Structure 1
Amino acid sequence: MPSRREPVVKRLNRHLWLVEPLEDEPTFLIKAMFGGKAVYLHGRFILFLADKEEPWRGVLVPTEREHQPSLIADRPALAPHEILGKWLYLPEAADSFETDAQWLVQRARAGDERVGIIPPMKRARKRKSPASRPGQGNS
């Protein structure tokens, strides 16, 4: 007897509400990435919304290391992520999570250079010539 397959239901990210104020921005973009949502604004990668288990449950802030001390001074719940130390992390469990996360969104919208990074350019894949593909040689 064939097995019945349950329909695949995509689970929404629990932190999407945070970026609703950005949805009217023409440069706003959100992409699925590594089980979370990467948020872009004005060509910058500004936030990563993570809703897995700790240490991936909250908001990661892509930022240059030189900006970390001033962001932490403004929002003490932020700390370098324990795995991705180049980014700051605001854990969902922080008492100030909602207000701090909303503050980060406001700072990004205002163009605060401390919040976000310019994503690295993707390298173009080298295309194999037809002669180098199996069964495609020039005979």
Structure 2
Amino acid sequence: MPSSIRNSLVWIFEAFERDSTYMRKRMFGSDAAYIDGLLCLVVADRDEPWNGLLVCTSQERHAALIDEMPALQPHPVLGKWLYVPQDDPAFESTAEKMTKLVLARDWRVGVEPKPRNPRRKAKLDLF
């Protein structure tokens, strides 16, 4: 059953709406933005540490992004991704810069999504 709760941070994804490869999907009670099939950003407006912008990247790319946007820090639970909480004074400017980097296809942003579990699909096909 789809959630009726609206994520107050989906405005961040408005910059992607003209991009033909953009897809938005629900992910663990949050919203995820995909560009060119890569998972790029996740916005969450839940309780900390799920209240802000998550940048989907690899740990090897963290330093380069943090140098440019010091508000970004490794997420306390998903340390492979960077995070800026919604209450950070630099939240809006960081979100704007990140959307620009995504649209520019910056090499530091975006990860291949993991393939779906084939066993789960097989179970669904039985019904």
* Structure 1 unmatched ranges of 5 or more: 1-7, 129-139
Q: Report deviation, 1:17.
A: 0.7
1:122 corresponds to which residue?
A: 116
For residues 91-115 of structure 1, give each alpha carbon's deviation from its aligned partner in whole angstroms, at most 9, with x where no partner exists. Answer: 1111010010010011001000111
Instruction: Figure out how many residues of one structure are paired with residues of the other and give that number.
Output: 122
1:28 to 1, 16, 22: 22
1:90 corresponds to which residue?
A: 84
Task: Flag the structure with higher helix content.
Answer: 2
Q: Report deviation, 1:9.
A: 7.7
2:73 to 76, 79, 87: 79
Residue type of the partner of 2:104?
A: A
Q: Report deviation, 1:121.
A: 2.2
What TM-score does the superposition give when structure 1 sets the normalisation length?
0.82
What secondary structure does 2:118 align onto? coil
2:47 corresponds to which residue?
A: 53
Using the alignment, how far apart are the partners of 1:23 and 1:49 within structure 2?
15
Bigger radius of gyration, 1 or 2? 1
2:63 pairs with 1:44: no
Using the alignment, how far apart are the partners of 1:9 and 1:98 within structure 2?
25
2:104 corresponds to which residue?
A: 110
Structure 2 CA distance for partners of 1:88 and 1:9, relative to 1, 3 Å: closer
Using the alignment, how far apart are the partners of 1:44 and 1:27 within structure 2?
10
The two structures, once aligned, show a CA RMSD in angstroms of 2.0
